Structure 1
Amino acid sequence: MKGAVFIAGTDTGIGKTWVAAGLVAALADLGTSVAGMKPVASGCAATPEGLRNDDALALQAASRPRPTYGDVNPVALADAVAPHVAASRAGVDIDMSTLRAAFDRLGTRHDLIVVEGVGGWLVPLGPGLQASDIPRQWKLPVILVVGLRLGCISHAQLSVRAIVADGCELMGWIGNRVDPDMEAVDDNIATLDRLLTVPCLGILGHDQPAAPALGVAARQIHERWLINTP
């Protein structure tokens, strides 16, 4: 593995998977061996192969070469609630060493890994453990997905402050039009671009394919690790 990036979100349900899977596909189109990863997922369905999460399956399907499900999503939890609650109900202790082992296995077959978080930046995973500990401990640069809807400016600024306060590098932000009826969307995007002080790496239209809108982000990641790194 040459590099990895962490996809954070301003909240749950704002399209982190849509962006992460689209970014994986865009990187694959550049000829990159790339894997998507969802270290922790709640709301998994029982299947003959075990618990499966739709977000993780989307990341697995976009990856090239295709990784095993267990490496994409090493901690799969059944209940569709906050991950620390789902883990407690299942009697599971979410351990960073388990997540890291899967990440390292992906790195043996892929040049790049796109790691998708769960919920917002400070979602708890267990006692003394938060989703933000993944990029912080693994020293991953962060791309923030901003769900474009009423309230997004405050949510985005709070997320940026938390990411920077945790000592993580923020590469940029991506807007996702989760509310197709949002008023003054262009004005809100312009305000975000001014206030967030990091580059906008793409704006995704509502229910439109993600990969074509993520070319800038994909090229930046590709150039950072596969061209500019010896």
Structure 2
Amino acid sequence: MVFVTGTDTDSGKTLISSALLHNATGKKCGFKPIASGCEQTVDGLRNSDALALMAQSNMGLSYLQVNPISFKPAIAPHIAAQKVGVSLTAKVVTDHLVASPLLAADFALIEGAGGWRLPLGNGEYLSDSVRELNALIQQDDHTINVGIILVVGMKLGCLNHALLSIEAIKADGLNIIGWVANQVDPNMCEIEANLISLKSLISEPFLGYVPYLANANAQSAAKHIKL
């Protein structure tokens, strides 16, 4: 079971998550517990990130199982929740995940929103939900835990963002099982030098470098990732 987080909002979490699911075998499913920036459809609010994960899953989950908490405006989720009078807490998120067929999958992936310290309001963060989920799972089976994969959006400033994210994840007691470098800036200077720096500074497994892809999709990104 993995939780995919990023160095910031536009690091490419959905592309990498979809690629990881594409490469996975057996029963596999992706979850996007919180999503802002949803489109109103006849079936209700729909988020493109959640739909992308569903396209790479094979367990036939409903949209609400994949994305139980959705907001129409593309703004910080805790602000969107306040505007519509929804209580957004770490427990609410954890309860949704625990109630899902998470443990029935051979490969279950949860995609976060924003970065590791996404605020939920009232002093809580999405990272609190990940810690709670990990604790609940380990109560039942000490051989299972939630492994964190960090997506580093390769652009100016990524070194600082990556190191601070790793520091925060470790401080929360979670296990980082790997990181992916995803080039989001096609014109980033010294991409190779930055990759060398990240590899020397990050001790966790390097899962791959995804170059800037003009027509990015799960299949094309999957060729650059190994898990």
Shorter-chain TM-score above 0.5: yes
Identity of aligned residues (%): 41
What amino acid maps onto 1:37 in structure 2? F
Q: CA RMSD in A?
A: 1.4
Q: Which residue of 1 aligns with 2:30?
A: 36
Q: Counterpart in 2 of 1:91?
A: 85
Residue pair 1:34, 1:65 contacting (<8 A) in 2 also: yes
Segments of structure 2 that go 5 or more residues without pairing to the other structure are 135-145
Aligned partner letter, 2:121: G
In the alignment, the residues of structure 1 paired with residue 124 and residue 91 of structure 2 have an alpha-carbon distance, to the nearest angstrom, of: 12
Residue type of the partner of 2:120? L
Deviation at 1:134, TM superposition (A): 2.4
Unmatched tracts of structure 1, length 5 or more: 218-230
How many residues are aligned here?
210
Distance in 1 (CA, whole Å) between partners of 2:91 and 2:160 is 34
Q: Which moved more, 1:102-111 or 1:83-92?
A: 102-111
Deviation at 1:100, TM superposition (A): 3.3
Asked if residue 6 in structure 1 is aligned to residue 3 in structure 2, the reply is: yes
1:149 aligns to 2:149 (yes or no): no
- Post-superposition shift, 1:142? 0.4
1:113 aligns to what SS in structure 2? Answer: strand
Is 1:106–1:113's contact at 8 Å kept on the other side of the alignment?
Answer: no
Deviation sequence 1:99-146 (CA, Å, 0-9, x none): 334423222652221000100111101213212112211122101000
Q: Distance in 2 between matches of 1:200 and 1:108?
A: 26
For residues 74 and 63 of structure 1, the distance between their equivalents in structure 2, rounded to whole angstroms, comes to 16
Query: Which residue number in structure 2 is paired with residue 176 of structure 1?
Result: 182
3-state SS of paired residue (2:212)? coil
Q: Is the 8 A contact 2:89 2:120 kept in 1?
A: no
1:121 to 98, 116, 137: 116
How far apart are residue 65 of structure 1 and its match?
A: 2.2
Paired AA for residue 19 in structure 2: G
Of residues 204, 207, 221, the one that matches 1:210 is: 221
Q: Distance in 2 between matches of 1:44 and 1:146?
A: 24
Over 3 Å counting, the alpha-carbon distance change for 1:56 and 1:42 in structure 2 is same
1:52 aligns with 2:58: no
Tell me whether 1:70 sits opposite 2:67 in the alignment.
Answer: no
Q: 2:206 & 2:64 partners in 1: Cα distance?
A: 33
TM-score w.r.t. length of structure 2: 0.88
Regions of 4+ moved over 6 Å: none
Partner-residue secondary structure (3-state), 1:213: coil
Question: For the residues of structure 1 that align with 2:84 and 2:205, how far apart are their CA atoms?
Answer: 40
The amino acid that maps onto 2:221 is: A
Letter paired with 1:212? K
- Against the structure 1 CA distance between its residues 142 and 103, is the aligned structure 2 distance closer, same or farther, given a 3 Å change threshold? same
Q: Note if 1:162 corresponds to 2:168.
A: yes
